[in-house]
């Protein structure tokens, strides 16, 4: 599982093919196990992650549904402050714009099921449920994986190391080292001395409607 699918983590290579980045929250799962971590970016979190009740690979398919909604409409379905977004993810029904096709409606409804066991992609055939959906009719997945499908957009770059498409606020930043002190060899030593952070509960639980 990637567990942090969002536009910022989806880049294009020099030929226009999509590449996933930032696997800092990724985790390998056994089919019958779940994770209880509170992780990801709020707008793209699945309901089961927000509620802290454990999640599996189905959480990624929810994030794919949010991404698809955003790419088709121009904005994610849930907006507001962090706590408000969490509340909406758990409680609100997603409204699908009428200008989307019937096939897009069906795919989004399948991906954005609040119950993970009913979500498209969480069945025994996994991703094949999504790849065989009628919205993807005509897609040759083997050719796509082999990079034989020509991308509809190719970025203008001067080479593989070109950074022209990245905002200068990032590329002009100086590189800073932040070396950590060597851990103590004493098995009784507390490596988290002076740490005060305690993870708060999901903020939507503290709100009333």
pLDDT for 209 equals 47
User: Do the beta carbons of residue 83 and residue 203 sit within 8 Å?
Assistant: yes
What are 98-128's pLDDT values in tens digits?
999 999 999 999 999 999 999 999 988 889 9
Let me know if residue 1 belongs to a domain: no
- pLDDT tens per residue, range 180-193: 666 666 767 776 67
* Contact in structure between 87 and 114 (CB atoms under 8 Å): no
In a domain, 147, yes or no: yes
Active-site residue list: 4
* pLDDT score, position 177: 73
Q: Could you tell me where the DSSP H helices lie in the chain?
A: 47-50, 58-73, 82-91, 102-111, 128-131, 141-145, 168-171
pLDDT score, position 190: 73
Q: Do residues 153 and 16 lie in contact, with contact meaning Cβ atoms separated by under 8 Å?
A: yes
Kindly indicate the confidence band of residue 30, based on its pLDDT and cuts at 50, 70 and 90: confident
In a domain, 88, yes or no: yes
Q: What is the CATH number of the domain that holds 15?
A: 1.10.510.10
- When pLDDT is averaged across residues 19-38 and rounded to a whole number, the result is 85
* Span 59-95, pLDDT tens digits: 999 999 999 999 999 999 999 999 999 999 999 999 9
With cut-offs at 50, 70 and 90, classify the pLDDT of residue 178: low
In a domain, 2, yes or no: no
In a domain, 12, yes or no: yes
Is 106 in contact with 112 (CB distance < 8 Å)? no
Residue with tokens 């096939």: 103
Q: How many domains does one find in the chain?
A: 1
Domain of 135, in residue numbers: 7-206
Q: What is the DSSP letter of 10?
A: E
Q: What average pLDDT does the segment 200-204 reach?
A: 61
Tell if the pTM clears 0.85, that is, is over it.
no
124-152 residue pLDDT tens: 888 999 999 999 999 999 999 999 999 99
């Amino acid at each position: 599982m990637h567990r942090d699918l969002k536009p910022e983590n989806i880049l294009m290579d020099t030929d226009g093919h999509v590449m996933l980045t930032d696997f800092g929250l990724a985790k390998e799962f056994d089919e019958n196990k779940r994770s209880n971590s509170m992780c990801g970016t709020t707008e793209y979190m699945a309901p089961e992650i927000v509620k802290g009740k454990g999640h599996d690979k189905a959480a990624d398919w929810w994030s794919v549904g949010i991404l698809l909604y955003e790419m088709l409409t121009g904005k994610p379905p849930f907006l507001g402050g962090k706590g408000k977004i969490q509340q909406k993810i758990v409680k609100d029904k997603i409204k699908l714009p009428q200008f989307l096709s019937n096939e897009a409606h069906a795919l989004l409804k399948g991906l954005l099921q609040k119950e993970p066991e009913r979500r498209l992609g969480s069945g025994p055939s996994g991703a094949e449920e999504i790849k065989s959906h009628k919205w993807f009719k005509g897609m040759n997945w083997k050719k796509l994986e082999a990079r034989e499908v020509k991308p509809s957009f190719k970025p203008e770059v001067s080479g593989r190391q070109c950074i022209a498409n990245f905002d200068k606020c990032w590329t002009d930043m100086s590189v800073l080292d932040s070396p950590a002190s060597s851990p103590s060899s004493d098995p009784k030593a507390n490596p988290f001395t002076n740490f005060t952070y305690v993870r708060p509960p999901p903020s939507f639980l503290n709100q009333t409607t």
